[in-house]
Amino acid sequence: PILDKIARIRRMIGTRAIDLQVDGGVTADNAHRVIAAGANVLVAGSAVFKTKDYAGNIAAIRGAKAAA
């Protein structure tokens, strides 16, 4: 699964200053798992623009960092 791939790539990166970006499929519901797996840059276009409450959608995704 994708979370395993993210974790494997994060281990490969190690301590080097390299961002690990995930683009696609990121939602407020799964962002904390994506972050916990090792991603530090999330691209969430559809999850942000799915409703007119863009600010609320962004806040929900940003809040995932605390849960990770």
Q: What is the DSSP letter of 14?
A: T
Buried b (16+ CB within 10 A) or exposed e, 10-47: eeeeeeeeeebebeeebbbebbbbbbebbbeebebeeb
Q: Tell me the per-residue pLDDT of 4-18, one tens digit each, with 9 for 90 and over.
A: 999 999 999 999 999
Q: Tell me the per-residue pLDDT of 15-50, one tens digit each, with 9 for 90 and over.
A: 999 999 999 999 999 999 999 999 999 999 999 999
The pLDDT assigned to 66 comes to: 81
Angle, vertex CA 25, rays to CA 21 and CA 31, nearest 5: 65
The pLDDT assigned to 68 comes to: 75
The model carries a pTM of 0.88
The pLDDT assigned to 46 comes to: 94
22 sits in which H/E element: strand 21-23
How is residue 4 written in tokens? 């395993």
The pLDDT assigned to 60 comes to: 93
